[in-house]
Amino acid sequence: MTTADPPRLGSAPADLYEAPAPSGPYPPTEEMLAEPVKPKLRGAQEDRLRKVWEGPKGWRILSDVNNQTVGVWYSATCFAFMLGAGVLALLMRVQLAVPDNDFLSAGTYNQFYTMHGSAMMFLFAVPMFEAVSILLLPAFLSARDLPFPRLSAFGYWSFLVGGVFVLGSILFGVGPQSGWFMYPPVSMQEEGMGPDIWLLGLSFIEVASIAAAVELIVGVLKCRPPGMRVNLMPLYAWYVLVVGGMILFAFPPLIAGDFLFELERALGWPFFNPEKGGDPLLWQHLFWIFGHPEVYIIFLPSIALTAMVVPTFARHPIVGYSWIVLSAVGTGFLSFGLWVHHMFATGLPTMSLGFFSAASEAVVIPTGIQLFAFVATLMVGRVKMGLPMLWIAGSLAIFTAGGLTGVMVAVAPFDWVVHDTYFVVAHLHYTLFGGFVFPVIAGVYYFAPVVTGKMLSERLGRWAFWLSFAGFNITFLPMHLTGLVGMPRRVFTYPGGLGWDWLNMLSTVGAFVIAAGFAVLAWDLIRPKSKEPKAPRNPWEAGTLEWSADPDESWGARSVPYVTSRYPLWDQDEFVERANAGQGYIPDAPEMRRETLITSVIDARPIQVLRVAEPTWITLVAAFFTAGAFILPVFHLYTLAGVSGALAIATVVVWLYRSARDHPEAETKDAGLGLRLPLYVSGPAAVGWWGMWITMLGDSTAFASLVFGVFFYWTARPDFPPEGAVHADLPLALASLALIAVAWALTLGARMLNTRGRPWLATLCHAIGPVLTLAGGAALVLAVRDLDPTTHVYPAIMWALVVWTTAHLGVGVLMQLFCLFGLLTADFGPRHDAPLWNVALFWHFLGLTALVTVACVALLPRLL
Amino acid sequence: MSDEHPAGGEEEFREEEASLVRITLGPVVWMAHFIVSYAATAVVCAKLSTDELVWLRMGIAAATLLALGTIAWLGRRSWRQWRHGNEDIWEDPAATSEDRHQFLGHAALLLAVISFIGVIYTALPALFAATCR
Amino acid sequence: MQRRAGTTTLAAPVRRVAPLALILLAACDGPQSALSPGGEDAIQLGWLFWVMLAGSVVLWLFINGLFFLVTRRHPHPMSRKLAEGTIVAGGIGLPLVVLTSLLAYGLSIMPHQREPGDGLRLRVTGEEWWWRVEYWPEGATEPVVSANEVRLPVGQRSDLELHAADVIHSFWLPGIAGKTDMIPGRVNHISMEPVEAGTFRGQCAEFCGLSHALMAFQAVTMEPADFDGWLAAEAEGISENARQAEGHAIFQEQGCGACHALRGTEARGEVGPDLTHVGGRGTLAAGVLPMTAEALADWIAHPEAFKPGVEMPGYNHMDEAELLTLATWLEGLK
């Protein structure tokens, strides 16, 4: 570091209404960083921060939104759901221990296996990534909280209610029983509420997952500490970015599938019914476009945990950082070209299968690179072993076996042998235990001191490891053979004498050994530890930021440090001492508001001090109303569901409006180290704008999946569109498009006019906009009025597009009215224009959606 | 490299976004090639006769060459970005914009390599398993 | 002397390993095992498996051995060059060689696995939870209908056209070939070429509802001459003797013909399996029960007890003697 004057930030804002630019010295010099804080001031700062970040007490803790509290709830809930799904597995193993067993009836067994898969995937594996990330990501980045704490809390409550609902159905014997993949027609034919519970409950949880993904992506992009350029991010942050992106592109196709599925179940629109032009394979495509990336959505975060643990035990920075980044990004992409390998036996053309076989092999390369980068790091390091490393060694042994059988099943002809047999059951459990469960447990043992300040037991940890490792292999290794000698999956019983008896008995015994291992782990987690000594601050001597914070304080980072290394605790002088002495950014909370630092995307230059949310009940209320909207239709209480949905929307509008009009008391504030940062920014500099952008990417993917449906039917069915079919009314459709286009232009115009200091013109635009939007929506519906969606898949899919677009137009109207209200009350204006930016962004996507819908509904069928 | 660049603002965002997006261009080419190959096969096998397979295979070959060429070009550009003034080819991190620039170059190069392999793999079925049955 | 000593030292491990190998080989056996193949395709796929298994074991030992080496045997720093080389060689070099050759091998056997048949055509339809089987020999204008059993001539490639009546099923005969799904609204194909005469077991591999586990079938591969003889007999209706028997009267009285066909009689039901030669099949109720008079009687009285959710109603109102007469008569329809 030079001792010369540091460069200074700051220039006059381009126009009157723009946020003031940051001003002051940046980057800080060594002298500035070394400048001590006076003890008295330090004490006062700590008192203020403590008071500001203190969570609510007693039962009011339920209103908490802070990432540390919500993260712990989230992880504990996932763990509990996992234990529940594990118990189902044990009961299934008892049933399969001997041939012709009648411990469970066929119906019960089918419910159990369906719920075991659904719960492990939707209630454990995917949310566990979100839970761990909400809990730890801010610590990895020395951020005080994530940018949208209320969204995390909303996501958590949605997950909890949805999860209890879905898993609870099993206790009443009404659970879904058509498998976690819900293939129609068998699931369509299923009576009772089982499939509805699955569809609506899990759609609800998928929405919560997407919300978490938005939160985490923005967290990584905008909440890093100053100086942490993209090449210095902890690898976990890279993985969060990749996995968050994958969730945005993988979950929406399933939501689109659920949408079609529920339309068929509730209204008889024949999307999957071949007698009326539908095709059950469309569901399989949509399900697996979600389902295969999902495997990597589960696997990558665990690799990310490993990437945090390995350098610590190698006592050496990771070797091949950019190689690991490459493999994360590469895997993220390639994993979208694998989905048909779940459909190798569906009779698709050989050449089509070949493409997916090829991509399934190609994805092995980035996966292998990650593993070899870990080995390389351990090579150059001075390795010490510890309990987390034991779990990681176990995970490697299991995962490589699962990966190698994965290479085998990716060869399509071999898959024709083992598809839907116990070989695949063994394969997937090897990948999930090795690639997810074991690394997560390694992470639990490793990160426990960060979260609770206490170490977990070494002795119990070893017992848990050896029991679950041995039990796992006793259970699943024989299953490879069970499958090869002919036992199919998803069978509630089997006859004796086919050579399967002893293999199944062995697997059942092993399952109970795994259960014993998990019981030891669970005990280690919940046993009282109040008498145990506090763990040292950095017990493993790690080099990354999460070890710099004091777990007893709820403020997260005492002050936000300036980072110049991937392992600042190893490389930067007196790093922990300085950060904890308040010698970093935002060391104080003079206005008694919760704050975190927002930085730029690539180079993490400080750009804003963001006020983050404090405890509130509104998220809880919103989540329960949303739950009502999703859950009540299962019981055919459509009116109540509608009311609940309307209340959910109203609650969310109130929530958003209250924060939209909460303007900071000053333009800028002292962010520490001589830097003054703005408090209010809008447009692409604001986190809200990024949140909208990312959400709409996901939303557009769902829409694209519906459009894919149109093309799919066209290639798969000779009668699409059927001879002499009634087409949509072309003039009306075009009129609708024109109206929506004008509304779009008005929304954009409103934002631009407002920014130029003409809020009254913007008000006018937003007054006319909703009328045009509603007229456009009405015209669109009228354009398809003569198409009967129950007769054939062609009118049905056209209607589905129209319903989708109309629903979005409804949201668009709400947003226009939201802006209109804010402009009329002068809560929004030229300076405070963030909502106008975000709404205009939404409308860009909405405009494109309407354009594509009109093209598909009114133009395309006339060309086919 | 200008650390003095004023923070925030739309202009910086655009410049920044471009450099993050650039590293994904290799995989995007792979994906485009994959989708084109899959969609063309689906349409030919479903709508046209199997006599058209020879045209399909030639089309896939052409698309493959195009994709490989594009990726090679991207890779060369990333190679320059990475090796620009860089002695040690294994990145050793330091906190300058220069390092970030080179890191993104290296990541883009490695992704180009993976995408190159991916495109070749995608073309193999047209070579070894070219049937609609 | 020396040689003898040599043989004993060699023999000891062999003696120890041999039973183990035998057990393992025996473990691969079974009527539904893909590892004791009796068909051309299954043999090819078996090879594919053994080659991949050997490769996988070697690679597993290599990767985990390396990890053990660097964490336990040699925890001290090694050279950076070596580590970097490991990433390039292990992460790109090794998989490139292994995967490219495997992919080429795998892809190149796919067209052969899906070759069209050259003689007999079968049309198999998956129903909840049984198999409708129709034989269409070359030049036939109408099929020979059977159910829940597939017979194939040895040394010929027969073509199976796969349909589904209600939900998705998957036709899987591991001893002969891989599996292919049966999907409502679609027609799929699989072809099979048995290489030896024998009896195999197949089963539905795609979850198809409550009694998915109870949807199996027996497959019999026969020398072509035997097969032709069998098919000719199968094409016949029931014999005059059988028509006159008391069992037939009970059959008619109970209205069985509403759902089941008996060729050569008025019974033309198509809801359930064709029963013209039901006694000639190896198993009853799609691989669930043995083909004995007792099992038939049990099944007719309480089908739900053996196959939950089955469409066939229980005939437990029939008296014991009547039931047994009907069952014995059915069992005699060979």
DSSP 8-state code for residue A340: G
Contact residues on chain C for A417, CB-CB shorter than 8 A: 34, 42, 45, 49, 174, 178-179
d(CA A543, CA A566) in angstroms, rounded, equals 8
Mean pLDDT of C114-139: 94
ipTM above threshold 0.85: yes
Q: Is B53 an 8 Å CB contact of chain C?
A: no
Residue A506 in tokens: 């062995």
Tell me, what's the pLDDT at A858? 93
Buried b (16+ CB within 10 A) or exposed e, C266-286: ebebeebbbbbbbbbbebbbb
Determine contact, residues C155/C193, Cβ cutoff 8 Å: yes
**Separation in Å, CA of B133 to nearest CA in chain C:** 7
Q: What residues of chain A, 225 to 254, have a C-beta less than 8 Å from chain B?
A: 227, 229-232
Determine contact, residues C219/C287, Cβ cutoff 8 Å: no
The per-residue DSSP string of A544-578 comes to SGGGGS-TT-TTS-SSBPP--SSSHHHHSTTHHHH
Touching B: which chains, 3+ CB pairs < 8 A? Answer: A, C
In C282-321 the beta strands, taken as DSSP E runs, fall at 283-284, 289-290
What is the second-level CATH architecture of the domain C240-331? Answer: Sandwich (2.60)
Question: From C100, which residue of chain B is nearest by alpha-carbon distance?
Answer: B121
Tell me the pLDDT tens digit for each residue of A632-659: 988 889 999 999 999 999 999 999 999 9
- pLDDT confidence tier of residue C2, bands split at 50, 70 and 90: very low
Pick from C147, C125, C290: which is nearest to C208 by CA? C125
Does residue C29 register a pLDDT over 50? yes
- CB contact under 8 Å between B131 and A326, yes or no, is no
Domain with CATH 2.60.40.420 in chain C: 25-76+114-233, 240-331
Q: What residues of chain C, 57 to 86, have a C-beta less than 8 Å from chain B?
A: 80, 84
Pick from B23, B82, B112, C90: which is nearest to A374 by CA? C90
Q: Which residues contact C280 (CB under 8 A, 6 or more apart)?
A: C234, C333, C334
Q: What are the two backbone dihedrals, phi and then psi, of residue C148, each rounded to the nearest 5 degrees?
A: 60, 20
d(CA C98, CA C105) in angstroms, rounded, equals 11
d(CA A432, CA A301) in angstroms, rounded, equals 12
Complete edge-to-edge strand list for the sheet that includes strand C169-172: C149-153, C216-222, C198-204, C169-172, C179-182
Q: What are the two backbone dihedrals, phi and then psi, of residue A670, each rounded to the nearest 5 degrees?
A: -75, 120
Residue A478: cis peptide before it, omega within 30 degrees of 0 = no
Tell me the pLDDT tens digit for each residue of A411-447: 999 999 999 999 999 999 999 999 999 999 999 999 9
Q: How far is CA C38 from CA A495, B93, C46, C170, in A?
A: 22, 60, 11, 20
What is the second-level CATH architecture of the domain C25-76+114-233? Answer: Sandwich (2.60)
DSSP 8-state code for residue C190: E
Residue B125 in tokens: 């079925």
Cβ of A173: how many Cβ atoms within 10 Å?
12
Tell me, what's the pLDDT at C11? 54
Determine contact, residues A854/A805, Cβ cutoff 8 Å: no
Mean pLDDT of C302-324: 95
- Shortest CB distance from C110 goes to which of A364, A408, A412? A412
Residue A564 in tokens: 């110049």
Determine contact, residues C262/C297, Cβ cutoff 8 Å: no
Q: What is the CATH number of the domain that holds A780?
A: 1.20.120.80
d(CA C321, CA C318) in angstroms, rounded, equals 8
Determine contact, residues C238/A453, Cβ cutoff 8 Å: no
Does residue C3 register a pLDDT over 70? no
- CB contact under 8 Å between A605 and B125, yes or no, is no
Determine contact, residues C149/A167, Cβ cutoff 8 Å: no
The sign one gets for the Cα dihedral B37, B40, B43, B45 is negative
> What are the extents of the domains in chain B?
10-128
Which residues pair with residue A597 across a beta bridge?
A: A609
d(CA B120, CA B68) in angstroms, rounded, equals 8
Which residues pair with residue C133 across a beta bridge?
A: C124, C146
Convert A478-497 into a string of H (helix), E (strand) and C (coil).
Answer: HHHHHHHCCCECCCCCCCCC
Q: Average pLDDT of chain A?
A: 93
Contact residues on chain A for B81, CB-CB shorter than 8 A: none
- Shortest CB distance from B95 goes to which of A232, A606, A681? A232
What domain range is A726 assigned to? 690-863
Q: What residues of chain B, 36 to 95, have a C-beta less than 8 Å from chain A?
A: 37-38, 41-43, 45-47, 90-91, 93-95
Tell me, what's the pLDDT at A10? 56
Q: Average pLDDT of chain C?
A: 92
The per-residue DSSP string of A327-341 comes to HHHHHHHHGGG-GGG
Tell me, what's the pLDDT at A109? 97
Q: Is C294 an 8 Å CB contact of chain B?
A: no
Tell me, what's the pLDDT at B7? 40
Residue A502: cis peptide before it, omega within 30 degrees of 0 = no
DSSP 8-state code for residue C289: E
Which residues pair with residue C216 across a beta bridge?
A: C203
Determine contact, residues A356/B53, Cβ cutoff 8 Å: no
H helix intervals, A145-279: 149-168, 186-189, 194-222, 235-267
Determine contact, residues A337/B31, Cβ cutoff 8 Å: yes
Contact residues on chain A for B114, CB-CB shorter than 8 A: 326, 330, 334, 362, 365-366
Tell me, what's the pLDDT at C8? 45
Tell me the pLDDT tens digit for each residue of A318-331: 999 999 999 999 99
Residue A463 in tokens: 């017992």
Which three-class secondary structure state does DSSP give residue C194?
strand
Distance in Å from the first CA to the final CA of chain B: 58
d(CA A303, CA A16) in angstroms, rounded, equals 48
Q: How far is CA C98 from CA A396, A821, C102, in A?
A: 20, 64, 6
Tell me the pLDDT tens digit for each residue of B23-68: 899 999 999 999 999 999 999 998 887 777 899 999 999 999 999 9
Q: Which residues contact C23 (CB under 8 A, 6 or more apart)?
A: none
The two beta strands, C179-182 and C169-172, are antiparallel
Q: Is B113 an 8 Å CB contact of chain C?
A: yes
Interface test with A, best of B10, B109, B114 (most A CBs within 10 A): B114
- CB contact under 8 Å between A355 and B12, yes or no, is no
Q: Is C189 an 8 Å CB contact of chain B?
A: yes
Residue A320 in tokens: 């091949």
Pick from A827, A820, A809, A811: which is nearest to A761 by CA? A820
Mean pLDDT of C182-198: 96
Count of domains forming chain A: 1
Which three-class secondary structure state does DSSP give residue C10?
helix
d(CA A576, CA A549) in angstroms, rounded, equals 8
Does residue C119 register a pLDDT over 90? no
Tell me the pLDDT tens digit for each residue of A355-407: 999 999 999 999 999 999 999 999 999 999 999 999 999 999 999 999 999 99
Interface test with B, best of C84, C94, C97, C110 (most B CBs within 10 A): C110
d(CA A581, CA A43) in angstroms, rounded, equals 10
Which residues pair with residue A609 across a beta bridge?
A: A597
Please identify which residue in the block is written with the tokens 């990767």: C63
Contact residues on chain A for B64, CB-CB shorter than 8 A: none
Pick from A544, A681, A501, A503: which is nearest to A606 by CA? A681
DSSP 8-state code for residue A599: E
- Shortest CB distance from B121 goes to which of C103, C110, C115? C103
Which three-class secondary structure state does DSSP give residue A728?
coil
Determine contact, residues A770/A817, Cβ cutoff 8 Å: yes
Residue A700 covered by a domain:
yes
Tell me, what's the pLDDT at C14? 59
DSSP 8-state code for residue A269: -
Tell me the pLDDT tens digit for each residue of A151-169: 999 999 999 999 999 999 9
Tell me, what's the pLDDT at C118? 87
- pLDDT confidence tier of residue B90, bands split at 50, 70 and 90: low
Mean pLDDT of A213-218: 94
The two beta strands, C198-204 and C169-172, are antiparallel
Q: What's chain A's length in residues?
A: 864
Mean pLDDT of A85-111: 97
**Separation in Å, CA of C267 to nearest CA in chain A:** 28
- Decide: residue A221, CB within 10 A, 0-12 exposed, 13-18 middle, 19+ buried: buried
Tell me, what's the pLDDT at A685? 85
Pick from A398, A389, A539: which is nearest to A462 by CA? A389
d(CA C89, CA A646) in angstroms, rounded, equals 59
Tell me, what's the pLDDT at B11? 41
Question: From C113, which residue of chain A is nearest by alpha-carbon distance?
Answer: A413
- pLDDT confidence tier of residue B93, bands split at 50, 70 and 90: low
Please identify which residue in the block is written with the tokens 């894919």: A708
Mean pLDDT of A852-862: 94
Q: Is C88 an 8 Å CB contact of chain B?
A: no
Question: From C111, which residue of chain B is nearest by alpha-carbon distance?
Answer: B129
Mean pLDDT of B18-27: 84
Percent of chain A, pLDDT > 90? Answer: 87
- pLDDT confidence tier of residue B104, bands split at 50, 70 and 90: confident
Buried b (16+ CB within 10 A) or exposed e, B112-127: bbbbbbbbbbbbbbbe
How many beta-carbon pairs below 8 A join chains A and C?
271
Residue A396 in tokens: 């490697």
Residue A728 covered by a domain:
yes
More confident position, A19 or A607: A607
Which residues pair with residue A599 across a beta bridge?
A: A606
Mean pLDDT of C158-168: 96
Q: What residues of chain A, 402 to 441, have a C-beta less than 8 Å from chain C?
A: 404-405, 407-408, 411-421
- CB contact under 8 Å between A333 and B31, yes or no, is yes
Mean pLDDT of C275-297: 96
- Shortest CB distance from C87 goes to which of A106, A369, A492? A369
Contact residues on chain C for A358, CB-CB shorter than 8 A: 103, 107
A240-254, B89-103, C313-327: range with lowest mean pLDDT: B89-103
Residue C207 in tokens: 């979850």
Residue A547 in tokens: 């070890």
Residue A155 covered by a domain:
no
Mean pLDDT of A248-258: 94
